[in-house]
Amino acid sequence: MKLLKLLASLLVFSGLYWLAVQKHAERDQLRLASVYLTPNCKEKLARYDLTPAEYYRSPYVQKMTGTESTGRGYRAEDVRAIQRGCNIVDDLQGNLARDGPRERWHANRFVRGTQTKCAHCHQSAGDKQDAAGNRLVGSNNLGASWVMADMYDRFTGMLLPNELRQMQCYINSSNGFKPNAADDVIRDVTAYSRFLAAALDMKIGKRYPEQGMDEIPASATLRRGDDYVRGAHVYRQKCASCHGAQGFGTVVDGRAIYPALAGPDAFSLDSRMNFAKVNTVMPGFICRNMPPQQEGSLDNQQCRDIAYYLSTLPRPAGDLQGPLVAAWQQMMMTVMPPLTRYAESIGGNVAPPASH
């Protein structure tokens, strides 16, 4: 009897061991496989001349400053990690993957929503530039973020390595789960961020203006006070055509053409994008980046008002709230949209009056 038990557990363990070996083999294969780039990443990485070589010289630095900067080059496996990292930032959900989401390490297993992706907030795959190639102030550049690794985080006051910042973004900005620090998704995005820093010739430990998001504090307005009713009004005029009347975004053929700013596919209550959590970041994002092609057309107060309004819309609870808040938010996300639609259909005055 004892022998039988022993044999049974031996069988179970060797089965598990066999499974683990298979999984490792599959991961190794994926690491070796050539990467099918998203159109954005293809263009960007070609422009930065990413190829396996002994030395790396950045064409961007050459073009922008007329000087050569030579650094250590990349091996073929580094190049593939960088390519996969760019793909993850640009296509978290694996919509553009040739080989299904597998090629992106199933990065979407770490997010609950079916539409969130990093590039919604870290625009141009974390490397936004103007037409002349200038990097932009407060554009949340991932290269600038990497060279700041292990610097004090300005909002928590803690020493946070880049990997932890990525994890925070999975948990709250993407309303998801924490990947392990050693997970391939973290390693590849780190490889990509590090490459961006090299391509843009950013120096480790230095703070660049394109790191983080630009902030608009209340002191940068005429101090009329923030007003979400005013915000709702501007939102309807300037934002709703893309992001939807209720902020749920626009999805075409299963892909988010315009991201959700509220509801189950949006960032959580604990994201720094939530005005109620950090009231300076979202206004900065709006004023700098929205509406597309008309960036800078809103004034600081309007951006704060819209950000305030967005924070009143139902969205997932964050990792700091308990199950009660989570359940409440879940209910609101389910109940509010049809209620609002109904109120509008019977001519209820949901939208604020046009004149004030």
**Binding residues for ligand HEC, per CB under 6 A?**
89, 92, 116, 118, 120-123, 140, 142, 145, 148, 162, 165-166, 169-170, 173-174, 189, 211-213, 238-239, 241-243, 258-259, 261, 267, 271-273, 281, 285-286, 290-292, 298, 306
Distances (CA, A) of 239 to 118, 303, 306: 20, 11, 9
Q: How far is the CB of 228 from ligand HEC (least distance, A)?
A: 13
- Beta carbon nearer to ligand HEC, 213 or 269: 213
Q: How far is the CB of 267 from ligand HEC (least distance, A)?
A: 4
- Beta carbon nearer to ligand HEC, 221 or 271: 271
Neighbours of 276 (CB within 10 A): 13
- Beta carbon nearer to ligand HEC, 62 or 250: 250
Quote the crossing angle between the two packed helices 76-90 and 184-199, to the nearest 10°. 100
Q: How far is the CB of 93 from ligand HEC (least distance, A)?
A: 10
Question: Which residues touch 271 (CB under 8 Å, ≥6 apart)?
Answer: 172, 173, 175, 277, 318
- Beta carbon nearer to ligand HEC, 66 or 292: 292
- Beta carbon nearer to ligand HEC, 7 or 267: 267
Q: How far is the CB of 15 from ligand HEC (least distance, A)?
A: 34
Q: How far is the CB of 318 from ligand HEC (least distance, A)?
A: 12
Question: What separation, in Å, do the N-terminal and C-terminal C-alpha atoms of the chain show?
Answer: 85
- Beta carbon nearer to ligand HEC, 53 or 96: 96
Nearest to 257 by CA among 232, 265, 316, 193: 265
Check: CB of residue 195 under 8 Å from CB of residue 146.
no
Structure tokens at 75: 């091996």
Q: How far is the CB of 287 from ligand HEC (least distance, A)?
A: 9
Measured at the alpha carbon of residue 217, what is the angle toward residues 228 and 164, in degrees to the nearest 5?
100
**CA–CA dist 287, 98 (Å, integer):** 36
Q: How far is the CB of 303 from ligand HEC (least distance, A)?
A: 8
Check: CB of residue 47 under 8 Å from CB of residue 60.
yes
- Omega before 264 within 30 of 0, i.e. cis: no
Q: How far is the CB of 182 from ligand HEC (least distance, A)?
A: 15
- Beta carbon nearer to ligand HEC, 61 or 189: 189
Q: Which residues of 211-220 are buried (b: 16+ CB within 10 A; e: fewer)?
A: bbbbbbebeb
- Beta carbon nearer to ligand HEC, 196 or 281: 281
Q: How far is the CB of 325 from ligand HEC (least distance, A)?
A: 19
With H, G, I as helix, E, B as strand and everything else as coil, classify residue 19.
Answer: helix
- Beta carbon nearer to ligand HEC, 53 or 251: 251
Neighbours of 73 (CB within 10 A): 15
Beta strands 70-72 and 55-57 are: antiparallel
Check: CB of residue 269 under 8 Å from CB of residue 317.
yes
